[in-house]
Structure 1
Amino acid sequence: MAALNPPDTSPLPVGTRIGGDVVEGVLGRGGFAIVYRVRSPEGRLFALKLLPLDVGPERAERAWRELSLGMLLRHANLGRQVGAGQWPEDEPRFVWLKLELIEGPTLDEWGLTSGRTVGEVVDRVLEVVRGLAVMHEARVVHRDVKEANILVHLRTGQAVLVDFGVGYHEGDPTLTKGMFPPGTLPYRSPEAWAYGRAHAGEPGAHYRAGPGDDLYAVGVVLYRLLTGRFPFRPAEHGGEDVEAVLHQTPLPPHLVNPNVPRAVEEVCLRLLAKTPEGRYPGAVALFEALEELRARTDVAWTAPLHPERRPAVKPRARGWRMLAAVSVGLAVALGVWWLTPGQEMAPAEPAPEPGWAVAAPLPEAPPPPAAAPPLAPRKDSAPVKQTQQTPSAPQPETAPKRRGAAVRNACLGLTGAALQACMGAPQQVPAERPAPPPQACPAGAVETMTSTLGLSLGEITPVDWSDVRGRYVHVNEDTPVYVFGHWEAGADPQGYGGYKVALPTKTQLNGRLYVKEGRVYGRFTEARTPLGVTYPVCLELLDSSENVGLELRPGSAPGKMMVSPVARVRVVNRFP
């Protein structure tokens, strides 16, 4: 397979379906990574990061590493990965990561606005450190902590540390070619610079970042929030002043900004110590120190840090972005870094934020409908031609069969209540058969689901009959349904939680459907993965509101059940 030419790679068209979600637009892109805004069948928005596999073994390995780190890290102050897979399924060329979509500004956009209080700034930093404590406990180093990788969630108000694309898990092999791991120069620790000087020109020398590097970067972040500038000015040639980083003490923040409390300054300067031993023993110790600091009553927590700065810009004017639990700026950065392995990303100028390009804001357009838009229409979805009649001419009666066909054609592409209203003509319904009696699960099904697959009784996941949304589908008694979006062990219906893929996307669920009192009920007793592995299961059919069974839809007739293309299934230990 020929390698992609990233600069010439066009974004996927709107309507492309990946892992059960429909692409609605591009959030950001770089040399190799593109981040899309996607909508799930339930109408929820996510970000989907697409990483190519055909760009060399090292870059492909980094894509898989980002996937594994995202599945490992779960916390309110860490960007959440809710799914992953390969695409296209028949001949995979990409790894896709489905990520929480966060609406909100980056930490510097948020923190350097007029009126932001000391307490608010310390609270956001404390939340970042809480997330880092979870990462470090899992033996993962972020390696690129900076304001552009920290988003302030508009809904919760909390800081969320995002983008694990250059993270490192202890014990993993080194992927980087060069002296330093990926990162942003002004946030690089003194011990990293010292290692570089000591091992300059040494073949194979590579600095391995640790938790102390992340804590130093937190110090740089805090210094910027307190003063609006970096701890050290750029060198005369425009790069980093390595001598200053190695040997000079930063100007105390209160001399730059008199509104900085001395107690907060002490924490900041300790984080910027020249050695890891001079900082805090770890993220947990730093978190405890910030908690104790926040509890002090001798600090004016409600005092504004930057009272004379220009007023905060309205979100529309500033272009706040719908950003993923991977920062779009970092997605761009990852692509650029991949394009030139081992190359450093130096800021073009000392301020504003150095680093990589930021994706353009989303277009100011009305919000998309709750349901995902249908893919390319079929040939039979063209508008129905109507014969023009003069006002005085009598309107001929239309045969019921022709009228029904015209109504169905006119209603193609509509969804929800609009489709029901459009299809308001009288419909025949399938003949009801006696409902099956209560039934035990297949032998070994409950143990297989709970022990082998790691699922729990009552757990729910979305399924579908069709890739096309907006049209009802015809099913019969033995029509299978398919899992999409990877069913994770322990995951709830909205995709939260879970650490193991129990059943991969496109797993086929086989069973029986039947009609009772205008609803379609289903009992599924076998799961067959795309690789052909089968498991006995015990799953009942639910609608999108988690009611048992699906409503029969217009177009149903004897021997023909019409249902919504999307449903859910629930783990049970017996069919009632």
Structure 2
Amino acid sequence: MPTTKEKEVMDTCEGKKRRKVSCESVEGCRRSVAAKMKRDVGKVLRSLTVGNNNHIESTKEIEDDEDCFSISFIQHDQREPSVLASPRYSLLREVGRGSYGVVYEAIARKTGAKVAVKRLQCDAPENVELALAEFWALTSLENRHQNVVQLEECVLQRNGLAQKMSHGNKRSRQYLRLVETSLKGERILGYPAEPCYLWFVMEFCEGGDLNQYILSRRPDPQTNRSFMRQLTSAVAFLHKNNIVHRDLKPDNILISQKSGSPVLKVADFGLSKVCAGLNCKNSEEQPASKESSRGSNQNNINKFWLSSACGSDFYMAPEVWEGHYTAKADIFALGIIIWAMIERITFIDAESKRELLGTYVRQGTEIVPVGEALLENPKMVLHIPQKARSSMSEGVKKLLQDMLAVNPQDRPDALQLEVRMDQVTCAT
């Protein structure tokens, strides 16, 4: 399974091609993703005045001065050219790379705080769509949640002009052109000689992802219980705010240790869907019934049907494989993650050679994603727990069985799950 969602979208949407993986033991040497990544020299984004932008677009298309600000990203050991304005952020090292973006650890020059900076090149409509999906999801949240990664700011950069992005800013021609690119499916903004980038500045999580954190430490039931509560709290918050993540997996769950104890952060919203104010005539989503337009937000989100079969195959619910699903698919993915975390069930991805947390079903010499196996055989009984010496309580066992039910209507919704998770973890 690719570690970047861009590859996953391609693999999943072009057909249900099963990936070959091995289940070999990988005790011992584990290297972090950051150590395996090549260091990259940060590019300098020159801050231009409005007068210098006449060759980009007319002055009528340039935003008000208050919307434009000086921002430069440079490598930390590179001397800053005197002709540049003082940079807001200095890139320290590359910590992740995908087919359409790079993530850096950086320093905010003004405060000295560490941040994560994700650079997305908007060179194709599909990349723009992923970038805007993440931007819309994170900016639609009016309140913060300690278990959801926080977006500090988003910057649109083209031909040296750096401009802060704001959600739904109809005065911004750059923003509108990005939206047009995504909707029309053709390049509207940027050319090879003048690339367009989106820079996401987010809180930095120094503990790596859930795979790295869990598999580099001895089993700890107390940590497991804490993580289970944090994960369900995060998903309940997202669903209450009408956001379906659609790509929950250990790679997309980061760990912050600033407070001394590990705090989970759900991240990577490139495949997410904001379900507020949907127009079923002009959208891929359709209300499951007339009742979907009434009632509270947390109930409504479970009544909208989504049709884009995307995500990561080992965490996809049966109905996602069919391309007709609701927010309950997030509950299934969460069940797979928690089950794998408690019992430390892993597989080796054949492409990346990484050990990944994830449960599966054996079919001869192959291992098959649970969701795909349940789609092929809805009457199949999942053996929870898998391991004979597992310390899983009856309450957790029953909750996981309900979360992984074939019929999404038999699964608890996110708010019900949060209440039940508190009950079973406190009783353990």
TM-score after normalising by structure 1: 0.44
Superposed CA deviations along residues 248-284 of structure 1, whole A, max 9, x for unmatched, are: 121121644432222221111211111112111x111
What is the correspondence of 1:141-180 to structure 2 with a 5 Å cutoff? 141-156=244-259, 157-170=262-275, 171=278, 173=283, 180=308
Identity over aligned pairs, percent = 20
What is the correspondence of 1:92-241 to structure 2 with a 5 Å cutoff? 93-112=196-215, 115-156=218-259, 157-170=262-275, 171=278, 173=283, 180-193=308-321, 196=322, 207-229=323-345, 230-236=358-364, 238=366, 240=368
1:252 is aligned to: 384
Shift in CA distance, 266/93, structure 1 to aligned 2, threshold 3 Å: same
What is the correspondence of 1:464-483 to structure 2 with a 5 Å cutoff? none
Letter of the 2:161 partner, please give it: E
SS of match in other structure, 2:200: strand
Q: In the alignment, which of 70, 83, 90 is matched to residue 153 of structure 2?
A: 83
Q: Distance in 1 between matches of 2:426 and 2:254?
A: 25
Shift of 1:294: 2.7
What is the correspondence of 1:91-490 to structure 2 with a 5 Å cutoff? 93-112=196-215, 115-156=218-259, 157-170=262-275, 171=278, 173=283, 180-193=308-321, 196=322, 207-229=323-345, 230-236=358-364, 238=366, 240=368, 242-244=372-374, 246-247=377-378, 248-253=380-385, 255-280=387-412, 282-296=413-427, 299=428
Q: Distance in 1 between matches of 2:217 and 2:151?
A: 33
Q: Distance in 2 between matches of 1:93 and 1:231?
A: 39
Q: Distance in 1 between matches of 2:195 and 2:386?
A: 55
Superposed CA deviations along residues 46-90 of structure 1, whole A, max 9, x for unmatched, are: 11111112223x321321221121222331100111001111317
SS of match in other structure, 1:96: strand
Letter of the 1:213 partner, please give it: A
Superposed CA deviations along residues 311-350 of structure 1, whole A, max 9, x for unmatched, are: xxxxxxxxxxxxxxxxxxxxxxxxxxxxxxxxxxxxxxxx
SS of match in other structure, 2:99: coil
Shift of 1:38: 2.0
Shift of 1:106: 2.5
Q: Distance in 2 between matches of 1:179 and 1:211?
A: 12
Q: Distance in 2 between matches of 1:150 and 1:129?
A: 12
Q: Distance in 1 between matches of 2:365 and 2:249?
A: 23
Letter of the 2:223 partner, please give it: E
Q: Distance in 1 between matches of 2:219 and 2:252?
A: 20
- Does 250-259 or 39-48 show the bigger shift? 250-259
Superposed CA deviations along residues 518-540 of structure 1, whole A, max 9, x for unmatched, are: xxxxxxxxxxxxxxxxxxxxxxx
Shift of 1:217: 0.7
Shift in CA distance, 164/257, structure 1 to aligned 2, threshold 3 Å: farther
Q: Distance in 1 between matches of 2:216 and 2:118?
A: 30
Shift in CA distance, 22/106, structure 1 to aligned 2, threshold 3 Å: closer
Shift in CA distance, 144/238, structure 1 to aligned 2, threshold 3 Å: same
Shift of 1:244: 4.4
SS of match in other structure, 2:361: coil
Shift in CA distance, 51/113, structure 1 to aligned 2, threshold 3 Å: closer
For structure 1, which runs of at least 5 residues remain unmatched after alignment?
A: 1-5, 197-206, 300-576
Q: Distance in 1 between matches of 2:101 and 2:118?
A: 7
Aligned Cα RMSD in Å?
Answer: 3.0
* Structure 1 stretches of at least 4 aligned residues deviating more than 6 Å after TM superposition: none
Shift in CA distance, 252/79, structure 1 to aligned 2, threshold 3 Å: same
SS of match in other structure, 1:284: helix
SS of match in other structure, 1:213: helix
Q: Which has the higher helix share?
A: 2
Shift of 1:115: 4.6
Shift in CA distance, 124/72, structure 1 to aligned 2, threshold 3 Å: same
Instruction: Give aligned pairs, total.
Output: 274
Shift of 1:179: 7.2
2:96 is aligned to: 28
SS of match in other structure, 1:267: helix
- Does 253-262 or 233-242 show the bigger shift? 233-242
Shift of 1:148: 1.6
Shift in CA distance, 261/135, structure 1 to aligned 2, threshold 3 Å: same
Superposed CA deviations along residues 464-506 of structure 1, whole A, max 9, x for unmatched, are: xxxxxxxxxxxxxxxxxxxxxxxxxxxxxxxxxxxxxxxxxxx
Q: Distance in 1 between matches of 2:407 and 2:44?
A: 52
Q: Distance in 2 between matches of 1:33 and 1:47?
A: 13
Q: Distance in 1 between matches of 2:254 and 2:402?
A: 24
Answer whether contact 2:309 2:320 (CA < 8 A) is retained. no
Q: Distance in 2 between matches of 1:52 and 1:236?
A: 42
Shift in CA distance, 257/89, structure 1 to aligned 2, threshold 3 Å: farther
